[in-house]
Amino acid sequence: MLPSRSPREVLARAEELGLSLRSPAEELTQRLAQDDAVLETLRSLDPALVDHDPTQGRAALSVRDPAPTRTTRPPLFWRGEQPDPPAPATVADRRGPTWISVVDDPRVSPGGPLTGWEVGVKDLMAVEGCELTAGTRAHQGRTAAADAPAVAALRSAGATIRGTVNLHALAYGATGTSSDWGVPTNPAVAGAIPGGSSSGSAAAVAEGTAALALGTDTSGSIRIPAALCGVVGLKPTRGLVSTQGCHPLSPTLDHIGPLGASVRPVAAAMSALAGWSGWRLPEEPEGTIRVGVLGGYFAEGVTAPVATAFAHACEQLERHGVELVPVELPLARHVPGAQIALLGTEALESNLETLRARGGLLPADVRLRLEAGLARTPEQYAVSRALAARLRVQVDTALELCHALICPTTAITAPSPDTSHVEVDGAQVTVQFSLTRLTMPFNFSGHPALTLPLRDGWREDGAGEAGPGAREGERARVAAPVGLQVIGRSGADQDLLALSAHLEQILT
C-alpha cells in the first residue's frame, strides 16, 4: 500500500522535470530508505478512516474519575484587561549570524500599540528595501519593494522593523544549522543549536536584539527554536495571518506567527497581525480551567530532561487549581509519514525552479531533502491530505471537553551542532524527528499552538554549569530550557493567548 517511487523511478521523474540530481547517489539512496521507513506510519493508517465519515477519527478522552460525566468543557470567563505592554529596551549590536540585514533608519508609523517595539523578520518574508535570501545564495539578488502583509501589519501598528534574521535555508530544517550566512548561537545554552527553521527569530529575541520577531512554522519552525532558546512562540490558526509575500515551503502547512520574551508581547503582535483592533489580554480567569494532557504518541520518544520538566509543570498547574485530564489523539501517530509525503511533495513543487536553475548553490542537506521529494506519489499525497482532515476532527473533539491541550514542545533539549542522533528508550532517533514529532500534528490539524519556556530542563554535557538533579559521577547537567506546548481551539487564538498568559504566571 502507498509504495514510493524506486531510485530508478526517481531518476526518471527528475529527467521529466528537467532536474539534474546533484546529491551523491549513496546519500540520496540512504535518504530515500530513511523516508520510506517513516512512511510506514502512514501505511499503517486504517483505510476506513480515509474512505468514510471523518467523525470516525474522534478523540479518545479518558478521565480519572470512575464515572465520567464530562460532556463539554466547564464555563470559563475572563475579567479585566491588561494595558499594552511597554516596549523593552533592546541591544543595538545587531550582527550576523543572527541578523542577515539591518536597517539603520527604518520607516516608522508611530502612535500605534507597538510603537517603540523593534522587530526582526525571518528572511523568508518581504521587508521593504531588504534583500530576500531565504538563507541561501541561491536566492540572492531580489530586493523587496514592499513589505509582506504580515510585516506591513506590524509596521502599521507602530513597530520598528529593524531588518531580517537568519533561518535554516528555505525553512527546510528543524536544527537551524544550515544557512549560507552562518549559524545563530543559542543564547540560552552555550554550544547548542538554536533550533529551526526560524533560528534567527528565536535567537534575536533571546539575545535581546529584537523585542519581537516574525517566524514561519511548517512543522514546528516557530515553536521549536522558541522552546530551545527559552522564549515564547505562537503558530496561529491556519489562515489567520496572511502568508502572502513569504517564500512558500508547503502552502498546506505554512503559518506565520510571532515570537517574544513572554506571552504579552506575542499577544500584542497577534492583535496587529490578525486585525483585532483594541483587543488586549484579560487580567484573570473566572471558572475552572480544564486542560487535556496529551498521552500516547505525545508521551513516547521523550527524553528524561523533557519528561521531568513537563511532569513538574503539570504538578504546578494542579496545585494552582487547573484540572488536568488525560487525552489521546490516536491519529497523531500516522502524521510523521504523512508529513514526509505532503511536505516532500509541496516543498519540491514550491522550490522546483530554484532546484532546477540554482540547485548547486543550495546547502547540501536542503538540496537532499528536496530531491528526496521526487519519490513521493500522488496517492501518498492524497491520503496525507485526508488524514489531516480527520485529525482536525479529532483535535476539535478533544477541545470540546477541554479549554486547551498540553504536551512538550520538543522531545529533546537543544543538542550540540554535531549531534545527528539521540538515544531515546534504547533506540537511536534523528535529532530532526525528535524536534518535530510533537509539533507537526498541529500544522496538519491547523489548530493554534504556543510554546511556553520551562526553566528546569537540562542536557548532559561535559562542560558548563551543572543543572538540576546532577549527581556525583554523572556528566554535568547543563541547564537548558524545555518547551510546554499549549494547543487551543481553531479560531480561538485570543482564548489560547489568555490561557497561556495565565499558565505562564503559574509556571514562572
Taking the domains of the chain in order of start, what are their residue ranges? 84-274
pLDDT tens, 70-104? 679 999 999 999 999 999 999 999 999 999 999 99
Residues β-bridged to residue 61? 327
Answer whether 0.75 is exceeded by the pTM.
yes
What is the DSSP secondary structure assignment for residue 333, as one 8-state letter? G
Residues labelled catalytic: 122, 197, 221
Q: What is the pLDDT of residue 60?
A: 55
Architecture of domain 84-274: Alpha-Beta Complex (3.90)
User: Beta-carbon neighbour count of residue 9 at 10 Å?
Assistant: 14
Decide: 497 and 267 in contact? Cβ < 8 Å: yes
Q: Which residues of the chain have pLDDT under 70?
A: 49-70, 461-475
- Which strand (E) or helix (H) includes residue 499? helix 493-507
Which residues, at least 6 apart from 67, have a Cβ–Cβ distance to it below 8 Å?
none
Q: What is the pLDDT of residue 398?
A: 97
Summary count for the chain: helices (H), strands (E): 16, 18
Which residues, at least 6 apart from 91, have a Cβ–Cβ distance to it below 8 Å?
207, 208, 209
Give the three cell numbers for residue 37: 521507513
Q: What is the pLDDT of residue 51?
A: 54
**Identity at 221, one-letter amino acid code:** S
Judge if the upstream peptide bond of residue 197 is cis by omega within 30 degrees of 0: yes
Decide: 236 and 489 in contact? Cβ < 8 Å: no
The span from the CA of 283 to the CA of 84, in Å, is 12
- Residue 399, sorted as left (phi over 0), alpha (psi -120 to 50) or beta, turns out to be alpha
- Coil, helix or strand at residue 365: helix
**Identity at 158, one-letter amino acid code:** G
Q: What is the pLDDT of residue 464?
A: 37
**Identity at 153, one-letter amino acid code:** A
Q: What is the pLDDT of residue 477?
A: 83
Q: Between vectors from CA 389 to CA 500 and to CA 332, what angle results, nearest 5°?
A: 60
Pairing relationship of beta strands 421-424 and 232-235 according to DSSP bridges: unpaired
